[in-house]
């Protein structure tokens, strides 16, 4: 699976949109981008995934660049409960191995 690069940490203002970047320049054509998050003292939680089109669900939006070498997870209205480590993972559909990197520690500030 392709390697991903995320900033180690970032702060976001409560109520504002939070834009979390992820670089995956070596992504292959059959690899999907997945996002999970881990709130302190809890297990990771699935957020969203996509291949090449932008995706949206009740939690977030995922924007993937046309060349698929990077993506952005958007939390539309960040709340204090969104403070967590966010993991960007690239993997082939059907591959059951999730390779969690160091993630991005996101802190939502009041």
Partner 1 sequence: DAGVIQSPRHEVTEMGQEVTLRCKPISGHDYLFWYRQTMMRGLELLIYFNNNVPIDDSGMPEDRFSAKMPNASFSTLKIQPSEPRDSAVYFCASSSGTRSHNEQFFGPGTRLTVL
**Residues at the contact surface with partner 1, assessed by CB under 8 A:** 32, 34, 38, 41-46, 49, 93-94, 96-103
Q: What are phi and psi of 82, to 5 degrees?
A: -85, -5
Residue 108 and residue 78 in contact, taking contact as beta carbons nearer than 8 Å: yes
The CA radius of gyration of the chain, in Å to the nearest whole number, is 13
The pair of structure tokens assigned to 41 is: 């003292």
**C-beta of 43: minimal distance to partner 1 in Å?**
3
**Residue 19 vs 38, nearer CB to partner 1:** 38
Return the closest-CA partner of residue 108 out of 24, 25, 39. Answer: 39
**C-beta of 70: minimal distance to partner 1 in Å?**
20
Alpha-carbon distance 40 to 51, whole Å? Answer: 29
**C-beta of 91: minimal distance to partner 1 in Å?**
9
**Residue 28 vs 45, nearer CB to partner 1:** 45
**Residue 28 vs 77, nearer CB to partner 1:** 28
């Amino acid at each position: 699976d392709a390697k991903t690069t995320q900033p180690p940490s970032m702060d976001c203002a409560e109520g504002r949109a939070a834009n979390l970047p992820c670089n995956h320049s070596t992504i292959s054509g059959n690899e999907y981008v997945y996002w999970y998050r881990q709130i302190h003292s809890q297990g990771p939680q699935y957020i969203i995934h996509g291949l090449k089109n932008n995706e949206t669900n009740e939690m977030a939006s995922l924007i993937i660049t046309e060349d698929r070498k990077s993506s952005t997870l958007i939390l539309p209205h960040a709340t204090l409960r969104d403070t967590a480590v966010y993991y960007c993972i690239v993997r082939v559909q059907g591959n059951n191995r999730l390779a969690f990197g160091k993630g991005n520690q996101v802190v939502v500030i009041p």
